[in-house]
């Protein structure tokens, strides 16, 4: 008995989950199946006659046109991927299987929506990249830049900010801010009428758009927002809300949806952990290299900078100078006013010393009331002597210690490279000895020694 063949009806095509698209050689849709509306958001009537390249994400258009050219030249493309912009503005990832019908002069393609798979892959890749950035970047600016790049792979992030909240000082600042139109906002308190402060106060994600604005509380609607779309998520850790990630857009071409909100929320915990780790490393590095009282470089960092300066001076045949400074009768301040006042005086001295030097120079605290100033890249030894006198005069100006004026009389020893030593130990020893001679001479002066003098 002969088997009866089955000829599917045209309606069967419309039952397929994948979409069938037929495009002429000019790139215009001439037929699309019903699944196109589910995938692209447009009805068949809206798509037919339209050039397909108009729906492709701009970054993928050149590659898509080249692939179309290859297909029309007879090359089969069973698994070509690109991205389309849906009618609602969202991005959809498509895997195409396409061939060219020479008889009909048409490209016949099947579109398979792989957005969910791409979403999962992208999220896993983002989490891995954030974790990697947390361990490989050397500082917070580098970490913020890397996070910006990672978030930009998930959603439109041309305008991107990181806000950090310092609870101890009640200050919200913006250490990373990239924006097409506006500079970084000034630091402000948590109770300020800003969108970022609202996120810190509530710990809740905030999405502003023309569609959502009227659904938000009145006090949020009243906050001035220059962008058309604004999305911010809290950075939350076991210590509470430490900041916020913010993206914004000034055009309808880059809008934010609930899906984008979920994406940013998903990575925010990992980002918060990465920021806290970098902050902890920064604090540890600071503790290892800086004096905790005056926040000046300590002995270890001074030696590191001095060795670097000496290497540069040898290579470039330049001079450098060390000023070794001691505060005369500092012990009397501690004995008379107490150690708290003594610490305050040391902090004041540190601030005045920093005002006496250039940014390229270094002032360090060795301990107690001993300070060292490293001067680089000057033309004449007179420069070091002028700085020494400037320091002496600055410290001679009265300090207000609990309402009482107090003057500090410094003894300063000066040493030069290469005249007084070829290495760090020799220079420090020579400057220290010169300082001791200045102190024996009555103090409140600076001294240069031609030869080392034992104590």
Matching residue, tokens 């360090």: 364
> Which DSSP symbol is given to 3?
P
Q: In what order do the strands lie in the sheet with 409-417?
A: 362-367, 370-376, 320-328, 409-417, 445-448
User: Structure tokens of 255?
Assistant: 């809008």
Token output for 254: 């880059």
| Catalytic annotation, pick one of 335, 369, 382, 400 | 369
Active site residue 369: yes
**Smallest Cα–Cα separation from 274: which of 166, 140, 398, 371?**
140
The separation between the first and the last C-alpha atoms of the chain, rounded to the nearest angstrom, is 122
Query: Radius of gyration of the chain from Cα atoms?
Result: 34
* Residue 95 buriedness (CB in 10 A; 0-12 / 13-18 / 19+): middle
**CB proximity list for 434: less than 8 A, separation 6 or greater:** 324, 413, 414, 415, 447, 448, 449, 453
**Residues that are catalytic:** 369
């Amino acid at each position: 008995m002969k088997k009866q063949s089955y000829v599917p009806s045209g309606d069967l095509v419309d039952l397929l989950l994948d979409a069938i698209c037929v495009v002429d050689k000019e790139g215009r849709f001439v037929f699309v199946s019903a699944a196109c509306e589910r995938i692209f958001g447009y009805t068949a009537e809206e798509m037919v006659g339209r050039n397909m390249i108009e729906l492709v994400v701009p970054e993928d258009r050149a590659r898509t046109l080249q692939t179309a050219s290859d297909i029309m030249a007879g090359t089969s493309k069973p698994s070509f991927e690109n991205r389309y912009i849906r009618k609602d503005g969202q991005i959809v990832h498509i895997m195409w299987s396409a061939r060219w019908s020479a008889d009909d002069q048409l490209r016949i393609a099947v579109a398979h929506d792989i957005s969910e798979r791409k979403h999962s892959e992208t999220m896993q890749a983002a989490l891995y990249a954030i974790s990697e950035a947390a361990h490989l970047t050397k500082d917070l600016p580098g970490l913020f830049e890397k996070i910006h790049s990672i978030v930009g792979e998930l959603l439109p992030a041309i305008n991107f900010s990181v806000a950090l909240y310092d609870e101890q000082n009640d200050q919200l600042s913006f250490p990373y801010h990239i924006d097409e139109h506006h500079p970084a906002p000034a630091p402000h308190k948590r109770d300020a009428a800003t969108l970022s402060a609202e996120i810190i106060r509530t710990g809740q994600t905030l999405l502003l758009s023309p569609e959502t604005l009227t659904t938000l509380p009145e006090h949020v609607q009243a906050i001035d927002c220059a962008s058309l779309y604004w999305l911010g998520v809290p950075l939350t850790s076991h210590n509470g809300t430490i900041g916020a990630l913010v993206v914004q857009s000034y055009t309808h071409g880059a809008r934010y949806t609930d899906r984008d909100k979920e994406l940013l929320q998903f990575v925010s915990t990992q980002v918060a952990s990465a920021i806290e780790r970098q902050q902890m490393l920064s604090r540890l590095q600071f503790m290892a290299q800086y004096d905790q009282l005056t926040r000046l470089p300590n002995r270890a960092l001074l030696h590191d900078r001095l060795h670097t300066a000496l290497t540069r001076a040898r290579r470039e045949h330049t001079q450098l100078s060390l000023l070794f400074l001691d505060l005369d009768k500092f012990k009397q301040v501690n004995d008379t006013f107490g150690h708290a006042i003594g610490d305050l005086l040391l902090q004041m001295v540190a601030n005045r010393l920093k005002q006496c030097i250039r940014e390229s120079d270094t002032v360090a605290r060795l301990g107690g009331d001993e300070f060292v100033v490293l001067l680089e890249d000057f033309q004449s030894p007179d420069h070091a002597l002028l700085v020494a006198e400037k320091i002496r005069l600055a410290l001679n100006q009265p300090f207000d210690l609990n309402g009482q004026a107090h003057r500090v009389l410094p003894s300063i020893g000066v040493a030069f490279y290469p005249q007084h030593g070829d290495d760090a130990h020799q220079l420090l020893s020579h400057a220290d000895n010169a300082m001791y001679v200045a102190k024996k001479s009555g103090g409140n002066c600076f001294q240069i020694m031609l030869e080392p003098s034992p104590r």
